[in-house]
Each structure stands twice: as structure tokens, then as C-alpha cells.
């Protein structure tokens, strides 16, 4: 987590840093800071505070810096609470520094180098600043080299030395840094979002290298001083200039964008009614040569993987596992050259997923990634990439990224079934036709959003809530439950309905609302019995149900009818309905829906 920016050039440095930090704020938003050097006076000053970038803007509103260089940071706290003091940049002696990552051995470093006296914060970062300052004798490269040799953990470090003019230095291990030289000067950032305003050309700073930004050039070398030519890439990622488009929150806007996003995801990947990945450069051999599939992801992206798992089992009858990326490497996973690894990530920067991809490829697996952000780290580390084309997702709670990930999985499953001879051409075309109905079906559920708003008011006061369903409904509810807890702070648990009476039903009372999802016709009778069981224990039950079977429950329960699709596709309308439920509960409670407490959009620490 944490967003980093570094800049040197002819523009108003304060404005460049603050604007970039606003774009990077989704990486962390508990505090923010900048250090700016005025090239005229040589004066270097730090402004930082707990709170948002808007607070930082106010803090330094009156300050004027002609030009020069600067570094900035938006923080997601790991070591040390949220406070002005713990905000970055940290300044020790001649060193001013920002950091993304975690220094695991910071306590040993304090002891080994007797640094305690020099520290004012509780952060691991300030220890790095102190160590760097200790090693610094006027030679930045020497000091950086000595420092990184002592660090254990992950780090992207950006440094200004008080006596080195308008030069910004950087080095990294695991945590990402991209950089560019453009007409306005040289800049670096945690991700491309902050650079796209200036250029679509960038390069990834290699691990354990030292980057120097000068206003008119960039120098990159390894730790032994050998010069390295940056490998420039281009990106066609566009920033969403339309802002919230009249919606009060990005989350609502992004929920509403889903029909268009799904169209963008599937169009261009269907030819003669069949799924086609030739434009993505993904060969059929990837699908025909594998014996098993392993999906790796975190959070919402992992929930998309769980839906895919159910489809693969029922359609392809293949061995498939869904692994939480954070557990993957520590669980002795069965991965070999016959395993197709599918990594799923909106940001393409989630550190656990990134490390899992590297691990799987070392074991000989081929890796296909489903990614939203073009040119991101996971995309670069993968053998093949299918971009979801959802467009920028700004709200922390993932919505359109999830449903576009699902759309890509439907295409993959169909292509696999076709290329492995499980589906005939006609069967594949019929499956794809149903997928192509998704945008229209989503529009129907979005048109009924007021009904979901009414239902949301029933759970507004709940402290705890259960979501129950079977089969694919259970998979969808895991995501619906995550959505509700992250934005509304209601403790919500998704449970496979049949498991409820093996323990958790003890928690059901009249104060525990239950949301049930009933979209799978073959499981309906059993599901209805489970709903009755919680109802007879006093629970207020809201049922999201496929329209064609809704008459079984109408009059008896509060029912939200979901437009009909074939059972395998009902996750699409159901997930939109559950997103709306979470959104309305949060908005009605008056929360900052787009920036829930303790969270960040991109999780770059393990
Ligand atoms: O960028 P990623 O898709 O890799 O992020 C993974 C999770 O952090 C993410 O899906 C998270 O669970 C969502 N923001 C929740 O809405």
C-alpha cells in the first residue's frame, strides 16, 4: 500500500506532487506528506499530516516554491499509528525519505546501529532514513548500497539528500516503482496512475538498482554502479476524467457502469459466436495442454475465482483449486508444468498475488492473468494476460472489476470446453449467447435499484447479519457479504445454507437479519427449507430470487426478483443486487462509501 511520487523539473513542484498524491490516494489515505526543495534558495521543507491529501493541500496552501524537486507519500499505516509524526516523509540529518513496504528487521537495526536517539516516530521507515543518514558521507550511491544490504523486507524508497541539488534517488525490492522522463521533467511513482497525466511512456525500475532523477535526464545503474538502459514501455490506459459523473460516490457510478464494462470486456473476444482470444495472443494449447487449474487471487478477485471453480467442475469436470494468494506459497501447493495458473487482480499490484505468480512460474506452470490495470506488475510477470477493460475503478469496494472478471472466466470456460471437445460449436455458441445477454439483464436490475434501497433500510440497524445460499449462490454471497462488511461495517457472514445447522444457527435471533440468495433451480427446494429454519428462529429474511421461481415465496417473505438467466449466469444479476444493497446501507449510514476505514484500494504489503 502507500502511494509514492518523486519529481524534478520545471513545473510547479508542489502542484505536481499534490495532484499525483490525489491520484494515488486509493493506495492509502490515513495520512499524507510532501518534501519540497526550492531550486532557487536550496531550501528543503517537509509538510505532513494525518488525514487526506485535501488536508495536506490546506496545510501547505500558502507555501510557494518556484520549481525544483520533491517527494510525496500517501500512507496506509503498518508500523505506528495514524498521526502527523508517523506520516512520511521522514527526515534524519541530510536524508529525507518516503517508503512503501515493510522493513522486517527494523528493531534489530535500531539496536545494531544505536539509532533510537535519532528517531521521532514509531515507523520502520524512519529507521531506514536514520541508517541511510548514518552511512551517508556525501556519496548517495555508496550510502544506498550499504543501507539496502542491511534491510530485510520489502521496500520502495525515494530519497532526497540535502546537499545533492534537485536530484531524487530511488531503489526498491518487491514494492513497485515506475518512472519516466518527459517534457516536464523526470518523475517516478508507485504506479502509472500518477504518470499518465504527463506521458504514456514509462519503465519499471528493476529491483536492487539505483535510479537518479534529474530535470533533463534519468540515470539508472545497478548497485555496483554499472549503467543500465531503462526499458521503456507504453500504456494506453486512460484516466477517468469524467469524475463521479453526477453520482455522489464512485461506487454507485461504477455499479451503474457494469453493463457497458461487460460489453467492453467481451466484445472483440467473440468471433462467429465463439470465444476467441487470438487478439490477446492466448493460444488454445494453454487450455488443452493442462491437466489441472489453480486460480490465485485475493478478496473479491478470489471470489470471482470461486464462481469459475464451480463452472469448471460442472462443465469441464477438471481438477481445479482456488488459492488465497496470501496462503499459497506457504501451503506446499501442487504446481507443475501441467498446471494452468490463473491469477486474478483488478490492480495487478497485489503483492501476495504477484509473489504467488512468480513462485508458480518458477515451478514450471504457465500463468494466465486476468487484470484490469494495463501494464501492472502482475501483467508483466505473467505469460499471458486477459485485460478486463472495466476502466479505472476508484472506489475501494470492487464492483465492475468483479463482474468483468466473471465475464472473462465465462469466456475462458467456454473456450476451454470448445478446444477440449467438451462443448460442440453449437453448445459453445449457445453459452456465449447467454453471456451476451448480461448487459441487458444488468440494466434491468439497475432499473429496479430503488426496490433494493427499500430493502437496505431493513438491515440498516443490524449489528450482525447472515447471508445464506447453496452452490453458486454461496459463491456470490461470499462476495456480497464482503461488500457489505467493508462499506457498511456490519458484521456479515456468508454461509452455505446446509452448514448452518452445524453450529452457526445458534447465532440466529430476531436481531440477526438473513439475506438469502435463491437462483439455482435445482437447489431451490432445499434452500427454501433452510430459509424456513432461520425464519422459525425469528430472523427477518430478505430473499434475492430468480424471477421465474419467485412465486414460491411471494407474500411470505420480503422478495427481490432477479431477472432470469440460465442458472450458471445468475451470478451476474445477483451480484449487482448485492452490490447495491451494500452501497445503500453504507450511503444511508452516512459513511464515506468510497474510502472505508482501514482499507486501501491496492494491497502492496504482505
Ligand atoms: O487489486 P486486486 O484485485 O488484486 O485486489 C484484491 C483485493 O484486495 C480486492 O479485491 C478487495 O478485496 C476489494 N477491494 C474488496 O472490495
- Mutation to probe ligand 1, out of 26, 193, 348, 350 (largest number of atoms < 8 A from CB): 350
Q: Domain limits at 111? A: 3-234
Nearest CA to ligand 1 atom 12: 299
- Overall domain count for the chain: 3
User: DSSP characters for 560-573?
Assistant: EEEPP--GGGTHHH
| Distance set, CA 139 to CA 216, 263, 453 (Å) | 21, 55, 62
User: Catalytic annotation on 601?
Assistant: yes
Instruction: Report pLDDT for 78.
Output: 85
Q: Is there a domain that residue 241 lies in?
A: no
SS3 of 230, please?
A: coil
Question: From the CA of 300, how far away is ligand 1's center (Å)?
Answer: 5
Distance CA(594)–CA(583), nearest Å, equals 10
Tell me: pLDDT of 67 over 80: no
Do 86 and 32 fall into the same domain?
yes
Distance CA(219)–CA(227), nearest Å, equals 7
pLDDT in tens, 538-569: 999 999 999 999 987 777 888 999 999 999 99
* Residue 337: partners with Cβ closer than 8 Å, 6 or more residues away: 364, 365, 366
Do 270 and 417 fall into the same domain?
yes
- Average pLDDT, integer, range 266-290: 97
Cβ of 397 less than 6 Å from ligand 1: yes
Q: What is the pTM of this model?
A: 0.85
Nearest CA to ligand 1 atom 8: 299
Q: What angle do CA 8, 13, 17 make, to 5 degrees?
A: 95
SS3 of 555, please?
A: coil
Among 420, 436, 452, give the residue marking a domain's end. 436
Distance CA(97)–CA(526), nearest Å, equals 60
Instruction: Report pLDDT for 602.
Output: 82
Do 205 and 272 fall into the same domain?
no
Q: Which atom of ligand 1 is nearest to the CA of 303?
A: 10
CATH code of the domain covering residue 182: 3.60.20.10
Number of other residues whose CB lies within 10 A of the CB of residue 37: 26
Q: Is there a domain that residue 601 lies in?
A: no
- To the nearest whole number, what is the mean pLDDT of the chain? 94
CATH code of the domain covering residue 534: 3.40.50.10490
pLDDT in tens, 301-334: 999 999 999 999 999 999 999 999 999 988 888 8
Tell me: pLDDT of 242 over 50: no
Among 392, 408, 436, give the residue marking a domain's end. 436
Q: Is there a domain that residue 553 lies in?
A: yes
Do 391 and 500 fall into the same domain?
no
Instruction: Report pLDDT for 254.
Output: 96
Tell me: pLDDT of 241 over 50: no
Per the DSSP assignment, residues forming a β-bridge with 296 are 323, 343
Instruction: Report pLDDT for 191.
Output: 85
Do 423 and 470 fall into the same domain?
no
Question: From the CA of 401, how far away is ligand 1's center (Å)?
Answer: 9
Distance CA(357)–CA(378), nearest Å, equals 7
Q: Which atom of ligand 1 is nearest to the CA of 298?
A: 6
Tell me: pLDDT of 94 over 90: yes
Cβ of 575 less than 6 Å from ligand 1: no
Amino acid at each position: 500500500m502507500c502511494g509514492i511520487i518523486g519529481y524534478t523539473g520545471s513545473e510547479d513542484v508542489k502542484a505536481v506532487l499534490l495532484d499525483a498524491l490525489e491520484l494515488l490516494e486509493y493506495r492509502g489515505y490515513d495520512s499524507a506528506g510532501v518534501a519540497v526543495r526550492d531550486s532557487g534558495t536550496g531550501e528543503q521543507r517537509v509538510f505532513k499530516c494525518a488525514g487526506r491529501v485535501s488536508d495536506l493541500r490546506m496545510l501547505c496552501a500558502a507555501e510557494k516554491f518556484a520549481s525544483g524537486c520533491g517527494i510525496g507519500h500517501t500512507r496506509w499505516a503498518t508500523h505506528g499509528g495514524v498521526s502527523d509524526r508517523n506520516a512520511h516523509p521522514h527526515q534524519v540529518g541530510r536524508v529525507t525519505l518516503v517508503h512503501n513496504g515493510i522493513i522486517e528487521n527494523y528493531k534489530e537495526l535500531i539496536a545494531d546501529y544505536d539509532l533510537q536517539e535519532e528517531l521521532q516516530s514509531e515507523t520502520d521507515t524512519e529507521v531506514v532514513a536514520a541508517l541511510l543518514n548514518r552511512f551517508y558521507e556525501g556519496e548517495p550511491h555508496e550510502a544506498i548500497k550499504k543501507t539496502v544490504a542491511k534491510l530485510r523486507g520489502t521496500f520502495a524508497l525515494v530519497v532526497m539528500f540535502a546537499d545533492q541539488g534537485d536530484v531524487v534517488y530511488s531503489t526498491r525490492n518487491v514494492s513497485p516503482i515506475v518512472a519516466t522522463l518527459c517534457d516536464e521533467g523526470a518523475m517516478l511513482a508507485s504506479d502509472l496512475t500518477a504518470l499518465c497525466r504527463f506521458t504514456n511512456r514509462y519503465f519499471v525500475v528493476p529491483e536492487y538498482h539505483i535510479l537518479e532523477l534529474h530535470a533533463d535526464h534519468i540515470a539508472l545503474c545497478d548497485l555496483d554502479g554499472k549503467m543500465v538502459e531503462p526499458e521503456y514501455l507504453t500504456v494506453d490506459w486512460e484516466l477517468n476524467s469524467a469524475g463521479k459523473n453526477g453520482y455522489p460516490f464512485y461506487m454507485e457510478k461504477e455499479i451503474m457502469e457494469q453493463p457497458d464494462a461487460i460489453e467492453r470486456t467481451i466484445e472483440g473476444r467473440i468471433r462467429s459466436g465463439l470465444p476467441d482470444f487470438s487478439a490477446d495472443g492466448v493460444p488454445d494449447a494453454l487450455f488443452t495442454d493442462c491437466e489441472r487449474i489453480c486460480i490465485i487471487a485475493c478478496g473479491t478477485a478470489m471470489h470471482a475465482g470461486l464462481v469459475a471453480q464451480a463452472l469448471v467442475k460442472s462443465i469441464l469436470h477438471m481438477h481445479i483449486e482456488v488459492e488465497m494468494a496470501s496462503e499459497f506459497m506457504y501451503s506446499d501447493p501442487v504446481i507443475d508444468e501441467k498446471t494452468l495458473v490463473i491469477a486474478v487482480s483488478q490492480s495487478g499490484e497485489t503483492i501476495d498475488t504477484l509473489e504467488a505468480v512468480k513462485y508458480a512460474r518458477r515451478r514450471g506452470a504457465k500463468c494466465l492473468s486476468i487484470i484490469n490495470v494495463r501494464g501492472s506488475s502482475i501483467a508483466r510477470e505473467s505469460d499471458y494476460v486477459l485485460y478486463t477493460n472495466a476502466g479505472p475503478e476508484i472506489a475501494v469496494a470492487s464492483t465492475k472489476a468483479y463482474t468483468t472478471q466473471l465475464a472473462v472466466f465465462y469466456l475462458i470456460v467456454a473456450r476451454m470446453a470448445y478446444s477440449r471437445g467438451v462443448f460442440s460449436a453449437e453448445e459453445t455458441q449457445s453459452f456465449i449467447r447467454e453471456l451476451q445477454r448480461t448487459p441487458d439483464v444488468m440494466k434491468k436490475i439497475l432499473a429496479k435499484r430503488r426496490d433494493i434501497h427499500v430493502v437496505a433500510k431493513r438491515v440498516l440497524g443490524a449489528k450482525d447479519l447472515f447471508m445464506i445460499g447453496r452452490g453458486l449462490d454461496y459463491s456470490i454471497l461470499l462476495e456480497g457479504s464482503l461488500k457489505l462488511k467493508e462499506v457498511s461495517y456490519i458484521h456479515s457472514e456468508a454461509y452455505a445454507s446446509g452448514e448452518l445447522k452445524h453450529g452457526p444457527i445458534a447465532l440466529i435471533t430476531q436481531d440477526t437479519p438473513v439475506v438469502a440468495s435463491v437462483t439455482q433451480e435445482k437447489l431451490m427446494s432445499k434452500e427454501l427449507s433452510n430459509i424456513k429454519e432461520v425464519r422459525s428462529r425469528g430472523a427477518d429474511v430478505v430473499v434475492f430470487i430468480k424471477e421465474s421461481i419467485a412465486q414460491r415465496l411471494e407474500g411470505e417473505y420480503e422478495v427481490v426478483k432477479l431477472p432470469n438467466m440460465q442458472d450458471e449466469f445468475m451470478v451476474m444479476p445477483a451480484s449487482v443486487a448485492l452490490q447495491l444493497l451494500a452501497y445503500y446501507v453504507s450511503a444511508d449510514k452516512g459513511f464515506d462509501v468510497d474510502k472505508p476505514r482501514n482499507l486501501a484500494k491496492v494491497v502492496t504489503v504482505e
